[in-house]
């Protein structure tokens, strides 16, 4: 099976113009044998003759108009492809798939995606809120270009672009007894109160369970929720204790609706929010632009951007930056 290439179409047009293989070869500065071979291959491909030999030269057959129509379509398709590629490179079109933890949505929208979408309105952005394990799977299976998650485990084929340190706190109502503490609260003391927690499929929920197990504590939450919104509401309206990051309650703290009491444990001080991609996967320009913007605005992911009720503490620091 032969392809009708641009080179063969040039030969065809030259033969059509001159009605002669020899004259076509002279114009194209090609050997007559090569011109004849190209013509034969095109005729073999379409299954019919393109020219009939007459005393006055080669005469086009009824198949020629169809080949000309095909050539115009092929040229138009190539022009469309080149235009589409230009639009992708210039971010006039395209799509960007992001899977992320709920607690990172606000700052990603405010500090990164709002400006990106204003600058590149033709790019469709799709956000999917997921649990940590689901985010990793989305990135690994190419369901997401970028993943943002809390405490994702080191996973083969996944590269961390950037990391930010958050802190786990006991989020409570300002009138709660724990809100009066001036020092970090041990998990055992926090568990003396009703507590709300995320499921173990989420980085936050898994870490609290890990700490409780390490300290041989009986963790029996009376409220389980897979959304931060529900945990914030639980702490605000039930006088319970919600284990959450200080970063995720920064607005409630600023408004005086909640207090974030630091949890006394080394692991609680190193809650990582990580940006991840699939290792070795070529990223579209839209994804790379967003990653660059995340790195440029990395301080906005900082837990020390929170005006914590006891005074500012903790500062986001870059742990690992994007690999070029």
- On whether both 187 and 257 belong to a single domain, the answer is yes
For residues 182 and 261, membership in a common domain is answered with yes
169 and 253 Cβ atoms separated by less than 8 Å: no
CATH number, domain with residue 53: 1.10.10.10
In Å, what is the CA distance from 174 to each residue of 170, 181, 208, 260? 12, 11, 22, 9
Hunting for tokens 């200080």 — which residue is that?
A: 246
Residue 154 structural domain: 91-164+273-297
pTM, full prediction: 0.66
Within a domain: 84: yes
| Same structural domain, 84 and 15 | yes
pLDDT at res. 314: 31
47, 62, 88: which is the final residue of a domain?
Answer: 88
**Tokens of residue 225, six digits:** 């929720």
Is residue 219 located within the same domain as residue 142?
A: no
- pLDDT, residue 233, reads 96
133 and 279 together in one domain: yes
Shared domain for 140 and 278, answered yes or no, is yes
- For the chain, what is the domain count? 3
Residue 141 included in any domain: yes
Gap between the Cα atoms of 231 and 245, Å rounded: 11
Q: Please tell me whether residues 293 and 201 are part of one structural domain.
A: no
Kindly state whether residue 246 falls inside one of the protein's structural domains. yes
pLDDT, position 261? 94
Q: How far is CA 17 from CA 10, 130, 212, 272, 318, in A?
A: 11, 63, 85, 70, 66
* Same domain, yes or no: 103 and 179: no
CATH number at residue 177: 3.40.190.290
- Give me the pLDDT at residue 240, please: 94
Q: Do residue 174 and residue 249 come from a single domain?
A: yes
Please give the average pLDDT of every successive group of 10 residues along the chain, which has 324 residues. Answer: 79 93 93 93 91 91 91 79 74 87 88 90 92 94 92 91 87 94 93 95 89 94 94 94 91 93 88 89 87 78 46 32 34
User: Are 289 and 140 within one domain?
Assistant: yes
Q: What is the largest CA-CA distance in the chain?
A: 108
DSSP 8-state assignment for residue 12: H
The reported pLDDT for the residue numbered 302 is 54
- 57 and 202 part of one domain: no
């Amino acid at each position: 099976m032969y392809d009708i290439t641009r080179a063969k179409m040039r030969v065809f047009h030259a033969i059509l113009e001159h009605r002669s293989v020899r004259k076509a070869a002279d114009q194209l500065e090609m050997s007559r044998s090569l011109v004849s071979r190209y013509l034969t291959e095109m005729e073999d491909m379409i299954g019919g003759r393109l020219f009939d030999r007459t005393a006055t030269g080669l005469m086009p057959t009824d198949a020629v108009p169809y080949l000309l129509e095909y050539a115009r379509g092929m040229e138009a398709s190539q022009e469309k492809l080149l235009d589409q590629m230009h639009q992708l490179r210039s971010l006039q079109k395209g799509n960007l798939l992001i899977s992320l933890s709920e607690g990172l949505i606000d700052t990603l929208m405010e500090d990164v995606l709002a400006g990106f979408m204003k600058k590149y309105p033709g790019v469709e952005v799709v956000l999917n809120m997921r649990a940590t394990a689901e985010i990793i799977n989305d990135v690994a299976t190419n369901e997401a270009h970028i993943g943002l998650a809390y405490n994702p485990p080191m996973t083969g084929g996944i590269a961390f672009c950037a990391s930010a340190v958050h802190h786990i706190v006991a989020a409570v109502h300002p009138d709660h007894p724990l809100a009066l503490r001036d020092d970090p609260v041990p998990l055992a003391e926090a568990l003396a109160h009703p507590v709300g927690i995320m499921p173990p499929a989420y980085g936050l929920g898994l870490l609290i369970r890990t700490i409780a197990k390490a300290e041989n504590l009986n963790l029996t939450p009376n409220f389980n929720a897979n959304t931060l919104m529900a945990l914030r509401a639980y702490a605000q309206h039930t006088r319970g204790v919600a284990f959450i990051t200080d970063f995720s309650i920064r607005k409630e703290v600023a408004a005086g609706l909640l207090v974030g009491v630091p949890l006394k444990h080394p692991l609680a001080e190193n809650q990582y929010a990580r940006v991840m991609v699939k290792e070795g996967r070529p990223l579209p320009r839209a994804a790379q632009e967003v990653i660059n913007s995340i790195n440029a605005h990395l301080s906005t992911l900082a837990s020390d951007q929170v005006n914590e009720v006891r005074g500012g503490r903790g500062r986001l620091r870059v742990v690992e930056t994007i690999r070029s």
